[in-house]
């Protein structure tokens, strides 16, 4: 190789000299290459073919039982200055991290193939897209990267033109939990991951590049890399509003991205268009609006909870040419998890199903599938300049206090809404489930630098001439005194999105409160819902004492990022706290 690809070739040779693979294969991303990878994995038992009549072109992969989720406690951001990584990240000095990882990589690919995977995050011709190269000894990773990214010759050609790329070195190693680390070197635009084959740890284009490294790039280059879905809502008038929404993993991002309108809305002409279900890159356009692309080409979705009732579009998407990971199997070779018809014959570890062994499908079992297979795939998903955003939505699992929907009064308030996000933890990360943790912008596991600097970067977009999206917060998960969900969710979430769109268009006034703008009486269309008056009231109720405690906790949490916490954000928290104090005094009078 010559010219701008010479640096890539040198790095590949250096990595090969360290890991000492039996052979090096440069991936071209072709159909023939994918078929050969699948053939090899079927022969080795790394993949199992599924029922060709019900799921043609589909395969099952079973992880090592210790390797089924992201390992946040073993994930590091390695900057020269510790404060640049921030208290929101685990940190090691780059030299120490490189030495630690290189000792693990030394000879680790002996007898294996090193695959060179050039890929592009984002439409291949988009100026918003960024390229990378992953070196891996896992054919499973290669197959998934082909689905999840624009991988192969076109990406290599773009790298050759630009001369820059993110370097990712990965090995499954021995799959030993004691020898498992994911290191990020944002100043070098490089990643080293060892000891895991799980998607979030091993598909380096995904969380590692598209969020941790990209967030660092985005700050330097004036854009945002966010853990957000992108969905287009087409109104009966034919206008389409694009919305980016941030939720922690396993909190319904894919369901919202593929939302099916309720019957009455469909009859009226409402349509939903899927652009992305997990990651959003956005930057200001020439007209002052924020434009967004989905850097991914596929979905790496959580299988449990996906059903004909919750997300028939996702089921249709994975009906063919998909890779399933850690789901159960029926007797006739179909993938199975809770919510699907039939019964499991084998659990996610391949054992005859026995309820005593736990769930049949792992709670974090996944599907990998091309986004183009989605019935609601947007015709604008590959637009080189992205789609213009009308709204940004934050949300999480909160059983109480947080209303169904509220709107920020301005951009600063919206940034505080995102910074204050809290949610009950889910099975997408190792650790306890159901514990409330603050997860600003749903980026706590993924922000590649100090959260104080990150908040300041968000605030920096509020410039003269900017036409920023309105910012909202939603909570689909509020419960009643008996622990039952108050809101039906799923397709009925469009009712909330309709209110947001009306606010964007200036057609509804809303109701001013100290914590934000809530729907006024009768502004939410609830016809056809079996929603008792008490539930309607509770969903939008304002608990002043509860909110005062919440604002105090938010202020305390934000101070963890001092002295880099923007004073503008601190003042906004104090403004709302003061408004709540005044409201409490008025109530007591």
Dist CA 277 CA 275 (whole Å): 7
Dist CA 426 CA 20 (whole Å): 38
Cβ atoms 165, 132 nearer than 8 A: yes
Dist CA 539 CA 517 (whole Å): 14
245 DSSP assignment: E
Half-sphere exposure of 578 (CA within 13 A, CB side): 6
Dist CA 449 CA 155 (whole Å): 27
Q: Of 27, 58, 108, 251, which is the active-site residue?
A: 251
Collapsed DSSP state (helix, strand, coil) of residue 539: helix
Dist CA 329 CA 586 (whole Å): 60
Dist CA 121 CA 210 (whole Å): 7
Cβ atoms 275, 348 nearer than 8 A: no
Cβ atoms 547, 401 nearer than 8 A: yes
Name 55's Cβ contacts closer than 8 Å, sequence gap at least 6.
318, 319, 320, 322, 334, 335
End-to-end Cα spacing for the chain: 79
* DSSP assignment string, 362-421: -TT-EEEEEGGGSTTB-TTTT-TT-EEEEEEEEE---SSSS-SEEE-SSHHHHHHHHHT-
Dist CA 358 CA 528 (whole Å): 38
251 is catalytic: yes
Give the residue from 273, 279, 248, 241 showing the smallest Cα distance to 500: 241
Q: What count of other Cβ atoms lies within 10 Å of the Cβ of residue 520?
A: 14
Collapsed DSSP state (helix, strand, coil) of residue 184: strand
Cβ atoms 173, 108 nearer than 8 A: yes
Q: Which two tokens stand for residue 581?
A: 């104090």
66 DSSP assignment: T
Beta bridge partners of 77: 91, 184
How far apart, in Å, are the Cα atoms of 142 and each of 7, 115, 171, 468, 560? 22, 7, 12, 38, 39
Dist CA 506 CA 502 (whole Å): 6
- Torsion, Cα of 137, 140, 142, 148 (10° steps): -140
Cβ atoms 76, 181 nearer than 8 A: yes
Residues noted as catalytic: 251
């Amino acid at each position: 190789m010559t010219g701008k690809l010479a640096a890539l070739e040198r790095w590949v040779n250096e990595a090969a000299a360290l890991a000492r693979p039996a052979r090096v294969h440069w991936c071209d991303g072709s159909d023939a290459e994918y078929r050969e990878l699948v053939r090899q994995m079927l022969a080795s038992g790394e993949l199992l073919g599924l029922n060709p009549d019900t799921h043609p072109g589909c395969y099952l992969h079973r992880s090592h039982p210790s390797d089924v989720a992201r390992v946040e406690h073993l994930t590091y951001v390695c900057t020269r200055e510790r404060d640049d990584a921030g208290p929101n990240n685990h940190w090691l000095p780059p030299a120490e991290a490189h030495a630690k990882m290189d000792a693990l990589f030394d000879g680790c690919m002996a007898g294996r193939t090193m695959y060179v995977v050039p890929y592009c995050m984002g439409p291949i011709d988009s100026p918003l897209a960024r390229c990378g190269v992953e070196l891996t000894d896992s054919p499973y990773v290669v197959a998934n990267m082909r689905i999840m990214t624009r991988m192969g010759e076109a990406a290599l050609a773009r790298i050759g033109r630009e001369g820059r790329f993110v370097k990712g070195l990965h090995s499954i190693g021995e799959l030993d939990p004691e020898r498992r680390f994911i290191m990020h070197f944002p100043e070098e635009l490089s990643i080293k991951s060892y000891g895991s084959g799980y998607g979030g740890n091993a598909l380096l284009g995904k969380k590692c590049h598209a969020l941790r490294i990209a967030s660092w790039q985005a700050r330097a280059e004036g854009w945002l890399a966010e853990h957000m879905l992108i969905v287009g809502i087409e109104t009966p008038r034919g206008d389409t509003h694009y919305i980016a929404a941030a939720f922690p993993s396993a909190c319904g991002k894919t369901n919202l991205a593929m939302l099916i309108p309720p019957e009455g809305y469909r009859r009226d002409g409402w349509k939903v268009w899927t652009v992305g279900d997990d990651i959003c890159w956005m930057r200001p356009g020439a007209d002052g609006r924020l434009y967004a692309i989905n850097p991914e080409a596929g979905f790496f979705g959580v299988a449990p909870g996906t059903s004909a009732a919750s997300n028939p579009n996702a089921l249709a998407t994975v009906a063919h040419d998909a890779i399933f990971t850690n789901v159960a199997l029926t007797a006739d070779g179909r993938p199975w998890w809770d919510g699907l018809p039939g019964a499991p014959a084998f659990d996610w570890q391949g054992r005859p199903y026995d309820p005593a062994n736990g769930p049949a499908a792992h709670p974090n079992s996944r599907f990998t599938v091309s986004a183009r297979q989605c019935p609601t795939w947007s015709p604008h998903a590959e637009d080189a300049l992205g789609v213009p955003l009308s709204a940004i939505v934050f949300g999480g699992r909160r059983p109480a206090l947080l209303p169904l929907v509220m709107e920020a009064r301005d951009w600063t308030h919206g940034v505080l809404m995102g910074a204050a996000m809290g949610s009950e933890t889910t099975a997408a990360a190792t650790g306890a489930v159901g514990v409330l943790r603050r997860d600003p912008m749903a980026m706590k596991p993924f922000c590649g630098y100090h959260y104080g600097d990150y908040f300041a970067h968000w605030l920096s977009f509020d410039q003269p001439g900017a036409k920023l999206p309105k910012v909202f917060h939603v909570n689909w998960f509020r419960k009643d005194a008996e622990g039952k969900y108050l809101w039906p969710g799923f397709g009925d979430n469009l009712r909330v999105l309709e209110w947001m769109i009306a606010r964007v268009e200036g057609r509804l006034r809303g109701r001013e409160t100290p914590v934000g703008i809530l729907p006024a009486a009768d502004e939410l269309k609830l016809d056809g819902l079996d929603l008792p008056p008490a539930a309607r009231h509770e969903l939008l109720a304002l608990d002043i004492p509860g909110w005062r405690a919440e604002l105090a906790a938010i202020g305390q949490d934000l101070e963890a990022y001092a002295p880099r916490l923007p004073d503008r954000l601190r003042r906004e928290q104090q403004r709302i706290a003061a408004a709540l104090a005044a409201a409490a005094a008025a109530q007591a009078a």
